[in-house]
Structure 1
């Protein structure tokens, strides 16, 4: 088996996160009026599923700081890898949002203020005006569920590991189907950071919710998994 370098893993995580933000948030910004919340949900899930098979053999396809931190907590990666992954993911999220912005501005009536970049929000910035507490609870619980699925489906004790990408992608789709009205769904700090940097305002001031919530939820998910099935 060939050795994968940390730089290769860095590029894979950057590219994978770029694709997730571009396609997931792109579905909301460019195609939302055509596909609705259900279509946006599948765009995020299918992006993760596709990247699992494109870069999973290189980096494990975390493309999410909450996943990386949870994997560090259960000993599946080193601290050096974790730092590199998180930096790559944030850069990838920013580039993905930047590409989406360049595409969106090709429509004359598009504006960041009116149309955004698929950013997450709570309170008045929530799609259905859910309060901050509801948003935080949703992000923590949904991320905990997501991490439990990821850790379980990729466990060496799971004989169906070769189809882990399907379970992971569909679980993210399910989370979006339920959670988009609440926060737009983050469960991924890098996915939230990219759009927020460009949009600013409430997206930036509320960004802490979408960093703290997923990280706490990821660690809870890791703890739940360890209680059930430790590698």
Structure 2
């Protein structure tokens, strides 16, 4: 989720690291490393979401926010630690990455989310959790909740992790993790508090969301990501 050119994403120290001499031996290309970090981070996030929900933990919002924070600190210096296709959309709209890199991130994130869902299925019993399937007024409320908090999440990411006014700060992970935790507490009972298309896909694979919910949630979250990117650009005209 920092900011340099189209070859770098958030919290970026890659441009300098790539210039340092490396030890002899085989190394993954920089692009492959970024995609792998995105897949790992999304896997861990979806696993935590699925395991927390399936186990019925009342501390699920705290666990999800905490693991996201930890994975952001772990992978931010390599990939920018999006772990969320909506955040990648926001970074694309903000002009931080290009379309080709965004597509690679999306593939890695969705793949990681599905593997995370598979790990949940292998480890945590299904229990009696019913799939979230909404219609009418309830569906409209869920879409608004997802749109609002996905926007808030992406907006926070862009401001704390890509703004030129916050270079190399130490609080970006806390801000992002607590945003997700707050959203989970506020609207978890309304929409399931996904705020992330990879989480929605993983949740559908686990039976937490019905399949008809996927396009509806995807649309709301992608619109929120684009809106956050455009809002950042409008409010920070000198921050390219």
Shorter-chain TM-score: what band?
A: 0.7 to 0.9
2:40 corresponds to 1:22: no
Q: CA deviation at 1:122?
A: 4.4
Normalised by the length of structure 2, the TM-score is: 0.82
Deviation at 1:48, TM superposition (A): 1.1
Q: Partner residue of 1:167?
A: 175
Deviations 1:38-76 (A, max 9, x none): x11111111110011111111000000000011011111
Q: Distance in 2 between matches of 1:203 and 1:178?
A: 22
Q: What is residue 22 of structure 2 aligned with on the other side?
A: none
Say whether 1:101 aligns with 2:121. yes
Does the CA contact (< 8 Å) of 1:97 and 1:195 recur in 2? yes
Q: Which residue of 1 aligns with 2:83?
A: 63
Structure 1 residue aligned with 2:192: 184
Alignment partner, residue 123 of structure 1: 134
Alpha-carbon offset, residue 164 of structure 1: 0.7
Q: What is the rounded CA distance, in whole Å, between the counterparts of 1:23 and 1:199 in structure 2? A: 15
SS at match of 1:211: helix
What are the equivalent positions in structure 2 for 1:36-55 lying under 5 Å apart?
Answer: 36=58, 39-55=59-75
* SS of residue in 1 equivalent to 2:118: helix
CA offset at residue 195 of structure 1?
2.4
Contact 1:65 1:89 in 2 (8 A): yes
**Matches of 1:85 and 1:166, distance apart in 2:** 23
Give SS of 1:123's match.
coil
Q: 2:92 aligns with which of 72, 94, 114?
A: 72
1:91 paired with 2:111, answer yes
CA RMSD of aligned residues (A): 2.0
- Which deviations, in whole Å up to 9, do the C-alpha atoms of 1:103-154 show, x marking residues without a partner? 123xxxx45xx336xx6x3427xxxx97111111111111111111111101
Distance 1:136 1:115 in 2: 21
1:24 CA drift (Å): 2.1
Deviation at 1:77, TM superposition (A): 0.9
Q: Which runs of 5+ in 1 are unaligned?
A: none
Between Structure 1 and Structure 2, the one with more helix by share is: 1
State the 4+ residue runs in structure 1 displaced beyond 3 angstroms.
none
Aligned mate of 1:193, from 193, 201, 222: 201
Say whether residues 1:221 and 2:228 are aligned partners.
Answer: yes
Give the TM-score normalised by structure 1. Answer: 0.85
